Amino acid sequence: MLDAATLAAALARACPDQPAWAAADAVEVVARTGSTNSDLLERARAGTLAPRALRIALEQDAGRGRLGRHWVAPPGAALALSIGLIWPGGPATLEGFTLACGLAVADAAAAQGAAARLKWPNDIVDGARRKLGGILVEAAPRGPEATAVVVGIGLNLAPHAALAEVTPPASDLATLAGRAVDARALVVALVAALEARIGRFAREGFGPSVAEFDALHAWQGRPVRLADAAGNELARGAVAGIAASGALRVTGADGRETEWKHGEISLRDGSDT
């Protein structure tokens, strides 16, 4: 069982360079909510989001992913949380931020013995490209030089019948690690990894992390189809890597490379859908 007081104490120890985690109300654990992201985003838009906030729900009934897709999070078998922070810059300075968060999730999974991989722009997968979880980053302006950012993370912790019915197929951290994953340890590892990655992003941008993302990208070098939210094809070719901006680089059959900031990729043979 996740406990707010225990988590707060652990985060204060794990993130000594971020004193905001020592605030009495920095960590919340609720039995049920619609969406942890919506909860914190409401505060962000109202201007009441704290410098750091962690909200965890044991059960969500309106969880969502990118493009408004419903997120399946079986109680006890999945982790649903959102982290709120105040970013010292406008939205334009957040290019590549979601991908940096993906690297943080991979770091935390590795600390639990699970070798997770990534799918541009915001999915966490296993080596067979089965979905382990996802990231949803949302933002609200906070004056001319700051942005309130909410990072939502959903991760499958253990096998569950509901996950077996998901298309494309899903996986979980326990299966990948070969043992049960301790939820409290995972939460602490996630927040600590995010602090480290966000700190590096603030200093250097995403560019110096591109090679790491490419190495973990399960679609790197593969022939893919890129489509928009309606399923219309935008590009077809091989994934050449990620740009410093976080855009996907695709090399077409004619050898010409294009960059895309939005879209959904799938293998051209359809084996990942």
- The catalytic residue among 45, 222, 236, 268 is 268
Q: What are the C-alpha distances in Å from 245 to residues 170, 175, 206, 233?
A: 29, 33, 7, 22
How far is C-alpha 221 from the chain's CA centre? 22
Pair of tokens at residue 227 = 């489509």
Pair of tokens at residue 179 = 């043992």
Q: What is the DSSP string of 88-123?
A: SS-GGGGTTHHHHHHHHHHHHHHHTT---EEETTTE
Query: What are the φ and ψ backbone dihedral angles of 114, each rounded to 5 degrees?
Result: -110, 120
Interatomic CA distance for residues 229 and 137, integer angstroms: 17
Beta pairing, strands 117-119 & 123-125: antiparallel
Beta pairing, strands 27-30 & 52-57: parallel
Pair of tokens at residue 261 = 């900031």
Pair of tokens at residue 98 = 């979601």
Q: Tell me the CB-side half-sphere exposure of residue 8, using CA atoms within 13 A.
A: 17
66 catalytic per annotation: yes
- The catalytic residue among 52, 117, 131, 142 is 131
In this structure, are residues 216 and 114 in contact, taking their beta carbons and an 8 Å threshold? Answer: no
Which residue has 């078998």 as its token pair? 77
32 catalytic per annotation: no
131 catalytic per annotation: yes
- The catalytic residue among 64, 66, 130, 197 is 66
Task: Give the active site residues.
Answer: 66, 131, 268
